[in-house]
Amino acid sequence: MLAEFSKLKMLQSPNFMKFRDLFQAKLEKMFVVPANTFDNVKGQFPIGFMIWNTQKQESFKQAISDVFDNNGVFIEQKSFYSFDSLKLINDWIFTYTQHKGVFIGNLSFNCNDFQHQAFTRLWNFGNNQKSISNFSITNMNIIPACIYFAVRKVIPSTWLNDRDQFLYPNDGWKTDEEFKSDCLTYALFNNNIQSKYGINHWIPFTEYQVGARDKFDSNFMTDFFEGKTENDNIISEPVLFYGIEDDNSGGGADKKPNQLDFSETAKNVFKAGKELWKHYHAQPKCNVNASLYDIREYFQERNDKGKMNNKSNDETYNGLIDNLRIALKVLAKKIEPKVYEYGFLRE
């Protein structure tokens, strides 16, 4: 028998695949605790205590572990996998690489696990760090990009799932139109797009809906909702989106083949977001092309160190942004079961 305690990279990390092939032993029993159980450790990740039977030769594939909290109290059991025979989510998103179409933004990300969740972002430009991958978003691949973003973000990173890997999904998501529009909605109201870095193609409303004083530089997103193609003429008069506005949720004969439907949960996000945009556009000085990030920066401002404040002096804004965040959390909970159903994660 061999006793071990360590991080779980040996069991789960893709970089340890060759080690798992060479180290032939059966994992008989294990439990995990938070890393900060140990003195002078601040990291939020699991430490495993494992017993290996070296008389039984096999490569590690899967184990069920007991989980204890900082006080040594048993809280649950969790499955850990090697993922060695599976392709990962970054392999999946690169199958949708496009060099054609209208560039509308960039998706950046790092490794496939929860540990690197914070590196997953949507913005106007690429990240120039060598360890960061950049994926160009166009009108041709916006749905896979938003699915990737939402799948990586809707489940919070914790000390326990820190090393879990996001996977190449099955094809179930391809016919789930509600899942697609839910993920698009989540991405629209949870991104880092900033208008100062280029045209903001991510405004989820028309000028009419939010009381804008001038025309937006881009109506890409609302045109996309309407199912318009690049060859369609831009409609200048006010439009109401199918499936979003309460008084136009029935669709009908005028619905285009590519026009999007939105779930009631997604509609609640749009409603909360619209009130926030309207409040911003009612301000004496506002940027007509403002993104959600720009709106937050306007109201919350920055401290002496350049960091955006958590709250604003405008209590109306604080209430509106809280409403949007609550609606987004409900949407995230709705998306979460599909993350497992379509194989982006293993339970």
Instruction: List pLDDT tens digits, range 301-314.
Output: 999 999 999 999 99
Q: By the 8 A CB rule, do 222 and 203 touch?
A: yes
How far is residue 93's CA from residue 168's CA, in Å, rounded to a whole number?
A: 8
Question: What single-letter DSSP state applies at residue 343?
Answer: T
Of all residues in the chain, the percent with pLDDT exceeding 70 is: 91
Task: List beta partners, residue 133.
Answer: 109
pLDDT confidence of residue 125: 76
How far is residue 85's CA from residue 343's CA, in Å, rounded to a whole number?
A: 14
How far is residue 167's CA from residue 112's CA, in Å, rounded to a whole number?
A: 8
- Nearest CA to 277 among 309, 324, 313? 324
Question: How many CA atoms, within 13 angstroms, populate the side-chain half-sphere of residue 163?
Answer: 25
The band of 228, judged by pLDDT with boundaries at 50, 70 and 90, is confident
How far is residue 179's CA from residue 175's CA, in Å, rounded to a whole number?
A: 9
pLDDT confidence of residue 256: 61
DSSP string of 259-279, one letter each residue: PPP--HHHHHHHHHHHHHHHH
Q: By the 8 A CB rule, do 209 and 288 touch?
A: no
Query: Among all chains, which residue has been given the structure tokens 């950049």?
Result: 134
Q: What average pLDDT does the segment 320-329 reach?
A: 98
pLDDT confidence of residue 229: 55
Whole-Å CA distances, 49 to 6, 11, 55, 84, 132: 7, 12, 19, 21, 32
Question: Quick one: tokens of 121?
Answer: 């972002």
pLDDT confidence of residue 300: 96
pLDDT confidence of residue 249: 36
How far is residue 2's CA from residue 27's CA, in Å, rounded to a whole number?
A: 9
- Compute the mean pLDDT over every residue in the chain, rounded to the nearest whole number: 89
For 209, the enclosing helix (H) or strand (E) is: helix 207-210
Most confident of 40-49, 236-245, 247-256: 40-49
Q: What angle do CA 154, 156, 157 make, to 5 degrees?
A: 135
Q: By the 8 A CB rule, do 115 and 162 touch?
A: yes
pLDDT in tens, 124-172: 876 677 778 999 999 999 999 999 999 999 999 999 999 899 999 999 9
pLDDT confidence of residue 130: 73
Whole-Å CA distances, 36 to 12, 47, 49: 20, 9, 15
pLDDT confidence of residue 199: 93
pLDDT above 80: residue 194: yes
How far is residue 189's CA from residue 269's CA, in Å, rounded to a whole number?
A: 8
pLDDT above 60: residue 32: yes
Phi, psi values for residue 105, rounded to 5°:
170, -175
Q: By the 8 A CB rule, do 306 and 312 touch?
A: no
The band of 247, judged by pLDDT with boundaries at 50, 70 and 90, is very low
pLDDT confidence of residue 52: 96
Q: What average pLDDT does the segment 212-230 reach?
A: 88
Phi, psi values for residue 140, rounded to 5°:
-90, -20
DSSP string of 48-70, one letter each residue: EEEEEETTS-----EEEEEEE-T
| β-strand pairing of 121-123 with 74-81 | unpaired
The band of 257, judged by pLDDT with boundaries at 50, 70 and 90, is low
Question: Quick one: tokens of 141?
Answer: 């691949």
Burial status of residue 249 (CB atoms within 10 A of its CB: 0-12, 13-18, 19 or more): middle
Question: What single-letter DSSP state applies at residue 157?
Answer: P
> What predicted TM-score, i.e. pTM, was given to this entire model?
0.89
Least confidently predicted of 16-25, 110-119, 122-131:
122-131
Side chain identity, residue 165: Q
pLDDT confidence of residue 230: 53
pLDDT in tens, 72-101: 999 999 999 998 888 999 999 999 998 888
pLDDT above 70: residue 42: yes
pLDDT confidence of residue 250: 37
